[in-house]
Chains A and B, each alone.
Chain A
Amino acid sequence: MKLSRFFKVLYIIILGFVFFTFKIHSAENINERVKKLTLELRCMTCQNQSIYDSDAEFSNDIKKIVKQKLQEGESEGDIKKFLVERYGEYILFRPLMNYNNIFLWSFPFILLIIGLFFVLIKTKGKKI
Chain B
Amino acid sequence: MKTFFLKVNFIFIFLIFAFISNISNSKEAQAELLKPNWSFDGFFGTFDRASLQRGFQVYKEVCASCHSMSLVSYRNLGEKGGPEFTEEEVKAIASQYEVTDGPNAQGEMFIRPGRPSDKFKSPYPNENASRSANGGAYPPDMSVLAKARPGGADYIYSVLMGYEEKVPENIKLEDGVYYNKYMSGNKIRMSKPLSDGSVEYSDGTKASEEQMAKDVTSFMMWAAEPHLEVRKKLGFKSVLYLLILTILVYLIKKKIWSRIESKV
The answer on A and B forming one complex is no
B-side interface residues toward A, CB under 8 Å?
none
A-side interface residues toward B, CB under 8 Å?
none
